[in-house]
Amino acid sequence: SLQDKNALHLYSVNGKYLGSETLKEEVSDMCVTGEFIVMGSLQGFLSIRDLYSLSLSISPLAMRLPIHCISVTKEYSHILVGLEDGKLIIVGVGKPAEV
């Protein structure tokens, strides 16, 4: 965060700069799983971005409270979201028939 601007920067394992994306929210936690970055913000949005292009995979989901932590299950079937008020939100991943 620099002067109220937040950005996500992508580097290769060798340290080569690959790109960046300006963010509207302040990231509180993130998790890299497979080919995706799952991020939670202090503004209460859960975002899923493509790891290589940094573009949004889906529209951000509003949780209405600041997100404190994020975890993805081992099978990549659910996202666990811890909110500021202590609630745990479980978000199913995939098509509705699969969830």
Q: Which CATH number goes with the domain that contains 22?
A: 2.40.128.630
Reported as type and span, the H/E element at residue 24 is: none
Residue 1 lies in a domain: yes
Provide the residue range defining the domain that includes 2.
1-90
- Is 96 inside a domain boundary? no
Question: Is residue 81 included in any domain, yes or no?
Answer: yes
Does the predicted TM-score (pTM) go above 0.75?
yes
Query: How many structural domains does the chain have?
Result: 1
What is the signed CA dihedral for 67, 73, 76, 81, rounded to 10 degrees? Answer: -10
Residue 95 lies in a domain: no
Top-confidence residue, 2 or 56: 56
Q: Report whether pLDDT(41) > 50.
A: yes
- Give pLDDT tens digits for 47-80: 999 999 999 999 999 999 999 999 999 988 999 9
How many other β-carbons are positioned within 10 Å of the β-carbon of residue 44? 19
Residue 38 lies in a domain: yes
Confidence of residue 5 (pLDDT cuts 50, 70, 90): confident
Within a domain: residue 97?
Answer: no
